[in-house]
Structure 1
Amino acid sequence: MSAFANATAALFRDPNLAQDAIWRSGGADAPVAVRVMLRRPDAVMSFGEGRFVTDSVMIDVECAALGALAPGDTFEIGGVIYEVRGEPLRDAMRHVWKAEAREV
Structure 2
Amino acid sequence: MTSAFASAMEILFTDPNIGREGIYIADGGTPMLVRIVSRQADAITDFGDARLWSETTRIDLRVAEVPAPRPGDRIEIDGDAFLIQGEPVRDRERLVWTVDLRPA
Q: What is the TM-score with the length of structure 1 in the denominator? A: 0.94
TM superposition shift of 1:85? 0.3
TM superposition shift of 1:19? 0.5
1:49-68 map, 5 Å? 49-68=49-68
Q: Deviations over 1:73-94 (max 9, x none)?
A: 1111100011100000001111
Q: Determine the structure 1 residue equivalent to 2:93.
A: 93
Structure 1, gaps ≥5 residues long: none
Q: What is the TM-score with the length of structure 2 in the denominator? A: 0.94
Q: Determine the structure 2 residue equivalent to 1:43.
A: 43
| Greater than 2 Å deviation, 4+ residue runs | none
Q: How many residues align?
A: 103
Q: Determine the structure 1 residue equivalent to 2:75.
A: 75
RMSD: 1.0
**Counterpart AA for 1:47:** F
**Counterpart AA for 1:70:** R
Cα separation, 1, equivalents of 2:54 and 2:33? 30
Percent identity over the alignment is 38
